[in-house]
Chain A
């Protein structure tokens, strides 16, 4: 298991440990520090995947995050199967398991490659034109086919077992990119004393210095300088250095999202530690040093494995010590590719030819190539390639036309020049400007406090890059006197030149622009011929730039081809939007800690643990866990609820009502404020008395309800629904602060100050009496709907006499830490009277037996108090309250509104479905005229029959009418009744 393409004398991994990994089951060796791509190439493997549409064999194109082709699956275990990982980014580790994608049955022989043979039928716009009709075929044929064909890798089918972390961070200067410019910027900023964060997507900083052999900075080789500066930065307290960290999104006010990959490079990650960390960085100023991305040349057959970017080949050689072939050729339109050829030549690799589309090529690199006897072909183009699974030869013709010749090679390095990586700058809403001379979009005016430095800002050489970094960093750090750091000298390569679009005059067939989405030059031309005028249309028609790489290597080519077809300058054709994320981000990183138990707060009452110990089943009510019912001896829900309901009316039941919202309304104008917030009158409510209050929105619809007790002239204890607590307080604060600021009232939430124990039933007073102190519980002293302060079990209480069941009842409020102890004391007394604990389900049935509404169940934001039968709760003589004017709106007083009624099924054993629709004539044709719907429906043990509440058009005038509830098994006949099914005179609450 040697690595035949490893060159011991090249690169920086010489002394690294060997690492064993596998690719499609084949065991291979690499070196610690390799990427999967470099390790594969070391083993002579270029073919790593099949393309998306045509299933063409594809190899490794780049050595970085821009990789369009080399997407693989990485499998750690059954649950950890990450699809679409860029082999050029993934670091190898001992035991890494990689699999190729989008091929069947194997990578070398793939049935889907038939698409390639049939490719004339799959040209641009194929999907739009082909799957037009018949409509029925969509469901059965087209959609399943497209869904199967869409996407590359296979998504894991198990929950992600890894942890993900989140961190908010704040800094003076955020530097994105740790190449020469970014390091210089971070150093210069750090020197000012500013708090600096430097993020780089690679495992090591250094950027292009990884491969640039001749670079010298400050008297050191470029790479060595980068490592020296990095060590310097890492040692500073005011610098946070983040490697393997991608700045993926630039948001408002210098908020930048970074994702840091913590464990993907480790052989045995600690499962207790997070896999990735999302950094939400708020930077006072940002320096973008994001570099530039090399473009491939566009020519027929440019996608065969072995054809790659020149800078990638140099990186594999100069950093990883891997030769991309034994006999390579170059096809370029800029000088960098020549340098790649020379590097490889020096390492002993044969260079078959250097083809350059430009006529004028000159310079030391040209002289050197000639001196070495390399065939140099300026003003030539590559017009075709051969090699089924790897390039084996290229066909070369003069650009001006003429005889072609074939040149054998096992790798082809291409470079069409460099595209500044302006993605983040554009996301920051900065304007891009097109520099016609160099055919580049460069950062123009800023929208935020951000500076660009280096190749992304248009620097054309290393000296300028370092210069810009130092200056941007110093300025971002707040230095007023210019430079903060001196760098003696920076010299290296320049990287201007290049071209856009194809050099040959062919049809553009199989001349790929976008590798990942299989878009060719021909497709883009066709899009223009078919009427697409804007690049946004061309993009959608051809899907160019819409793959996971977002066209990092291809967009400028596509734009140039479209512009040439349209005969317009590039800026007039437009530029597609750069959207976050820059590279794909896992859902895990975005979700962070918010998974499982931390997805949302789970709120429990002080009595929760008692309910749990006593076998309660719980239901979710918003964020709350509420005891739903307390099954005994293996009871099902219905049996338990029937027993609980019976027991409450026969003896008593104890219920945890702690989740109710509570608001303390305090101040001399408290009653006036209550008058405005609720429909009811409050000024005359005596101290120590309670009232059921109805709250409306300004539009007249019910917003909330609850019982309010007056504790003092200037103090009310307001209760709200469980779900309504936060919004009711917000609603009240809104009016108090902005509409009625002159009222002398303050509001405080006391929802969680009080545990609330409801004791309901004929024996309720007997149960609590032995525990209560300083309160006279007699009917004369404490009638229904009153409130007293005193103590229970030796702790302070606000004791309400009130009822949501229609029975004599009390609600005991005690400070929450005492809730469980008081509950247990009440429970002990209750057992002497055969009382039971009951849950929310029984509570719902008991209140429905009495026709009491639940806001959000009987109401849906379009129900008025009149509709709900609560017209009595509206104060007749009030000058104003929120919703008063809304109630007079024409629609709200019109006849035929849906009104709350009771429904009794003709067959008392039939329980209606909640939400079921109600009609007058079940035999009318579909669509039927709906009269309303069932809002609540239960089996009532106490009534010995089913009961239901419903909103029915004109319901109050339909008493006794027979209506129908059409269901799949046939219509159910119902009689419209009063909403009160039990104790219609309401005597039990008082007696």
Chain B
């Protein structure tokens, strides 16, 4: 019966693709909000197969999997291959909380030479490469929506937001794109 239950991503068929700017919905991924104190970090890192970053505004990646530092005891773990992240952490006895948010968030991939300018229409952080280098990630604001911004390349960002805000975020990017 599972095959028949259609999965509908919030931004299915949306986005735009220009020469200087592309905004496209990311493929579905599994996501975990991982909350853990420092003591559990090592075990969780081992279980997930990557080092949970300990430095603010940084990420670590391995293959299709990445962990984004969101707070001193909070990470957003994304597996673009769709691996079961909850199961991966289930065996770690140290105190932590692993909560599946695969469907809570959705993501847009923003790329092209104008990507940073479009994001700067709504994001108050300094997005210069110096202040926000490749690999940096941060929870922040884009207009009136909270996002998690992850710079995946000099001209490439992944923008994660809660699904119901994705329409607003995309509309604001479209509006901003008219100005860059």
Contact = CB atoms under 8 A, between A and B. Distances in A.
A and B touch in the complex (CB under 8 A): yes
Interface of A: 163, 165-170, 195, 272-274, 277, 280, 282, 593-594, 597-598, 600-606, 623-624, 664, 666-668, 744, 746-754, 773, 793-795, 815-822, 825
A170 B128 contact: yes
B97 A664 contact: yes
A971 to B, nearest CB: 45
B144 A600 contact: yes
Contacts of A604: 164, 167
Contact of A163 (B10, B97, B128, B178): B178
Contacts of A749: 104
B162 A817 contact: no
B174 to A, nearest CB: 10
B143 interface: yes
Contact of B179 (A277, A816, A825): A277
Nearest to A601: B168
Contact of A752 (B99, B104, B117): B104
A982 B103 CA distance: 38
A820 B8 CA distance: 8
Interface string B121-158: 11111101001000000000001110000000000000
Given A163-B178, A753-B100, A795 B2 contact: yes
Given A167-B121, A603-B164, A794-B3, A750 B97 contact: no
A68 B128 CA distance: 41
Nearest to B130: A195
A282 B120 CA distance: 12
B8 A169 contact: no
Contacts of A751: 104, 162
A753 B104 contact: yes
Main secondary structure on A side of the interface with B: mixed
B95 A744 contact: yes
Contact of A598 (B2, B7, B175): B175
B104 A166 contact: no
A593 B143 contact: yes
A750 B95 contact: no
A793 B1 CA distance: 6
Interface string B1-32: 11111111110000000000000000010000
A821 B5 CA distance: 6
For this complex, into which size category does the number of interface residues on chain B fall?
A: 35 or more
B97 A794 contact: no
B178 A274 contact: yes
Contact of B171 (A166, A274, A597, A819): A597
A619 to B, nearest CB: 16
- Give the one of A167, A272, A605, A624 with max B CB within 10 A: A167
Nearest to B7: A817
Given A165-B179, A817-B7, 20 more contacts: A166-B121, A601-B168, A603-B165, A606-B163, A624-B164, A746-B36, A746-B96, A748-B101, A750-B104, A751-B162, A753-B100, A753-B102, A753-B103, A773-B1, A793-B5, A794-B3, A795-B5, A818-B7, A818-B8, A821-B8
Contacts of A664: 97, 99
A748 B97 contact: yes
Contacts of B10: 606, 817
A506 B85 CA distance: 88
A746 B35 CA distance: 6
Contacts of A623: 164
Nearest to B175: A593
B9 A817 contact: yes
A744 B7 CA distance: 35
B146 to A, nearest CB: 10
A888 to B, nearest CB: 34
Interface in B51-98: 73, 95-97
B47 interface: no
A753 B101 contact: yes
**What are the nearest 7 A-B pairs in CB distance?**
A794-B2, A746-B35, A746-B97, A603-B164, A601-B168, A666-B97, A165-B179
B163 A752 contact: yes
